[in-house]
Amino acid sequence: MSAKIKIALIINEDFSMWHFRRGLLSALVKKGFDVYVITPTGPYVEKMESLGLTHIAIPMERFIGPLADLFLFIRLFFLFRKHRFDIVHTMTVKPNVFGAIAAKLAGIKKVVGLVSGTGFVFSETVNLRQKVLRALVCRLYRFANRFTTRVWFQNGEDLDIFVALKLISRNKTLLIKSGGINIDEYSFETVSEDSLHKLREELNVKASSVVIMLISARMIVSKGIKEFLEASKVLADKYPQAIFVLVGPLEPHSPEAIPQDVLESYDAPNVRLILTFRSDVKELVAVSDVMTLPSYYREGVPRVLLEALALNKPIVTTDNVGCREVVDDGKNGFIVPIKNHIALADAFSKLISDESLRREYGNYSRRRAENEFSEKEVVRRIITELYGVKE
């Protein structure tokens, strides 16, 4: 690049920016971009700044609040007008909507977005609240995307929905499957045997145990939590060596929240409940024998399944948007119908009973990570195709 490009990346939490976009941030800094990251303040800000970028803290509520959203829009407008970025890259719904409008009004010439998954709003409408919310978000997206230069989608189904609903014109869309995974960072060579030994002790699993693990960023119904726990009950007597581990924080404010007492009602000798945030996700994935995500939430491409691919794990997931992207059924795992704990248990059974099959599927997973989901290739496409910057 002849002139330094000033870019702002904005998302609703520092955790996601650090964990899911760190490779992109590092690449931008190394390539000579003047990088600004806009998120609420949090424990990962200092880590991001250590990459050589500038962080700007701005409050951002996850859930809809008219007054808070108005203040967010005003703050972003004045921030963009002050800094005159060459590119603004928005991520998640509120930045995608309010950020795109504010950036264009502030005179930013290139505004790009990321739809990493359509989530709760675009799932099957089951109640009036959800229908009203979906109608509102559609109107906002339809208006905001008048001002975007291009929008990156992580799976083709989400892209097609946006086009079909006329939320964006197809010529503004870009399909890059997933945010990619750093296949050097996520490999067994980077996980110490000591950390795995400590985790096995913490989980109280024997060397002969087969660990089936579900890691979710949120304990909500549509992640397939109950189906996972019901499957553990089905298999308890037949496979006493199988240990079912559920990891993730409670989400009390979500309309899909699962109460703690409901989760604890499934407590049994073959179940381990870790109902809190964990920073050692890579090690948890590594200690598992089978990874699962029986989701019917509208995923992008779930990060935890990419980590499972890179760490040589067989995967059982659902025939669901985003999830099916990572599994070749019968080659590195199984794809089962959504909301079907019997089918889920049957898939688990095949892997629990066959160690050589787990190894074969795990090796195939690693090859898929290397060939199809390498973060380096994803970052290259973001810079050249989304940002339109020549290498």
* 101, 201: one domain: no
pLDDT of residue 316: 98
Q: Are residues 224 and 122 in the same domain?
A: no
What is the structure's pLDDT at 126? Answer: 63
Token output for 94? 């509120």
pLDDT of 125 reads: 57
User: 11 and 60 share a domain?
Assistant: yes
Residues 82 and 18 in one domain: yes
User: What tens digit of pLDDT does each residue of 200-215 get?
Assistant: 999 999 999 999 999 9
User: Quick one: pLDDT at residue 178?
Assistant: 92
In a domain, 272, yes or no: yes
Residue spans of beta strands (DSSP E) within 84-126: 87-91, 110-115
CB of 322 within 8 A of CB of 299? yes
- Judge whether 86 lies within some domain: yes
| In a shared domain, residues 273 and 138 | no
Range of the domain at 238: 188-372
Structural domain includes residue 1: no
3-state SS, 127-158, equals CHHHHHHHHHHHHHHHHHCCCCCEEEECCHHH
What total of structural domains would you count in the chain? Answer: 2
Residue range 112-162, pLDDT digits in tens: 999 987 776 676 656 777 788 888 889 999 999 999 999 999 999 999 999
My answer on whether 162 and 250 are in the same domain is no
199 and 316 fall within a common domain: yes
Residues 192 and 143 in one domain: no
pLDDT (0 to 100) of residue 80:
98
Are 155 and 227 in the same domain? Answer: no
Answer yes or no: is 360 within a domain: yes
155 and 222: one domain? no
Does some domain include residue 97? Answer: yes
pLDDT computed for residue 179 by the predictor: 92
Q: Is 349 in contact with 149 (CB distance < 8 Å)? A: no
Which residues of the chain are modeled with pLDDT < 50?
none
- Count CB atoms within 10 A of the CB of residue 59: 11
User: What CATH number should be reported for the domain holding residue 64?
Assistant: 3.40.50.2000
Predicted confidence at residue 378, as pLDDT, reads 96
What is the pTM (predicted TM-score) of this model? 0.90
Length of the chain: 391
Residue 391, domain member (yes or no): no
Residue 326 maps to a domain: yes
